Each structure stands twice: as C-alpha cells, then as structure tokens.
C-alpha cells in the first residue's frame, strides 16, 4: 500500500473515531485549524443559506452532543473513495451515521506540517427511516 494512501486512511479512521466518540481532541488532530465545515442539506429544504462553520464553531457542537458510542449506536463508517491530486492534496468520499442521520462527507485533505489534515468538509445527510 502506498505510504500516502495509508497515512490518509489513518487520518480518516481517526476522523470516524472522533465522530463516534464525540472526541474533539481527536478531531482537532485531523482537522486543520482553518478547515471549513459546510452543508446545504437543510438550506435546500427551506430555501435558506448553506451552513458554514469554522472549527471553533463546530467543536463545541460536537462537545455538547451525546456520542454515538455512549448511545451504543452501531458504526456505519466507510471510505467510499480516495483520490490524490499531486503529492499534497487528497479527496475522500466517506459515509457515516450519527443518530438518525446518514452522512455522505466530501473531505479535502492537505499535507502540511508533516501530516495530512482535513481542510474542508462538505456534506449531505439523509434521515434514516427506521
């Protein structure tokens, strides 16, 4: 396995772990401090603006919610695809779930400071009909 590929897969696994455990310390290791968090899912439903958060805005939301792990939710995370655009840029399409929401995340990663970090998260979610 290519070293870059293995490194990005490790970052994505930490991302999934951070979400499942609502662990912003772990998420802080995988997100670049200047990362963008964006979704238009709810805006599309009500004609509003996309939601755009910085990490400083996003992490308190994660801290405030009960973790999927604490609710014994099954993990549904997987890497759908991973592509590289040169030696320091990657794009991953991943899926995971939190509560009734099933997410498709489009993650852009960059290699800076001797490590891969997520610089943008653009996502869509669907509500599961359980």
> How is 33-84 classified by DSSP, letter by letter?
EEEEEEE-HHHHHHT-PPEEE-HHHHHHHHHHSPPTTTTTPPP--EEEEEEE
Q: Identify the pLDDT of residue 40.
A: 85
pTM, two decimals, is: 0.93
The number of residues making up the chain comes to 130
| Block residue for tokens 């396995």 | 1
Q: Identify the pLDDT of residue 81.
A: 98
Q: What is the DSSP letter of 113?
A: T
Per-residue pLDDT tens, the chain, 130 aa: give them.
589 999 999 999 999 999 999 999 999 999 999 999 999 887 766 677 888 999 999 999 999 999 999 999 999 999 999 999 999 999 999 999 999 999 999 999 999 989 999 999 999 999 987 6
Class of domain 3-127: alpha beta
| Rounded Cα distance, 43 and 126, in Å | 13
Q: Identify the pLDDT of residue 44.
A: 64
- Where exactly are the structural domains of the chain? 3-127
């Amino acid at each position: 396995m290519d070293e870059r590929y293995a490194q990005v897969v490790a970052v994505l696994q930490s991302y999934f772990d951070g979400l499942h455990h609502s662990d912003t310390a772990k998420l802080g290791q995988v997100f670049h401090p200047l990362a963008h968090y964006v979704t238009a899912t709810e805006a599309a439903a009500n004609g509003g603006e996309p939601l755009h958060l910085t990490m400083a805005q996003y992490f308190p939301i994660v801290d405030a919610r009960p973790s999927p792990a604490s609710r014994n939710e099954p993990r549904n995370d997987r890497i759908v695809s991973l592509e590289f655009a040169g030696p320091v840029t990657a794009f991953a399409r991943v899926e995971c779930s939190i509560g009734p929401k099933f997410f498709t995340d489009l993650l852009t990663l960059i290699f800076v400071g001797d490590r891969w970090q997520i610089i943008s998260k653009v996502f869509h979610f669907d509500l599961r009909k359980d």
